[in-house]
């Protein structure tokens, strides 16, 4: 079945550092790929998405490119802020239902 693997956290960075959170997936067909973010005490929010190979999703300075050849969708940001501290979930959706399958989440902690 479909599955998502993302790097374990927590990832701890200083402010303005470069961020990469790795995500790889296994799926039949051609899934849509997503990154969700969960700030403390809040629900998950869609951060960005890509629906086909080579698409780049971007939002709030975050980017991720749909790489079919490596089945990856790594999340990157050039300069993180303290306010980016949150848990980030990689997810895919495929098949007729398009209900997301989530990775375990990666906690990001950004220090001033």
Positions in the binding site for another protein (CB under 8 A): 4, 32, 36, 41-46, 51, 89, 93, 96-100, 102-105
Q: Which CB sits closer to another protein, 73 or 103?
A: 103
**Shortest Å distance, C-beta 70 to another protein:** 21
CA distance 96 to 83: 36
CA distance 24 to 66: 10
Q: Which CB sits closer to another protein, 1 or 112?
A: 1
> 6 - beta bridge partners?
23
Q: Which CB sits closer to another protein, 82 or 99?
A: 99
Chain centroid to CA 21: 7
Q: Containing H/E element for 110?
A: strand 106-111
**Shortest Å distance, C-beta 44 to another protein:** 4
**Shortest Å distance, C-beta 15 to another protein:** 25
Q: Which CB sits closer to another protein, 85 or 102?
A: 102
> How many other C-beta atoms are found inside a 10 Å radius of the C-beta of residue 59?
14
Q: Radius of gyration of the chain from Cα atoms?
A: 13
**Shortest Å distance, C-beta 46 to another protein:** 6
């Amino acid at each position: 079945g479909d599955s998502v693997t993302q790097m374990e956290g927590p990832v701890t960075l200083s402010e303005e550092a470069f961020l990469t959170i790795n995500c790889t997936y296994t799926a039949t067909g051609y899934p849509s790929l997503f990154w969700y973010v969960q700030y403390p005490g809040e629900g998950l929010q869609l951060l960005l998405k890509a629906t086909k190979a080579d698409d780049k999703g971007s939002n709030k300075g975050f980017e991720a490119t749909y790489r079919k050849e490596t089945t990856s969708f790594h999340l990157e940001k050039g300069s993180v802020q303290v306010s980016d501290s949150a848990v980030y979930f990689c997810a895919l959706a495929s098949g007729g239902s398009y209900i997301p399958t989530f990775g375990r989440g990666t906690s990001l902690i950004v220090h001033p």
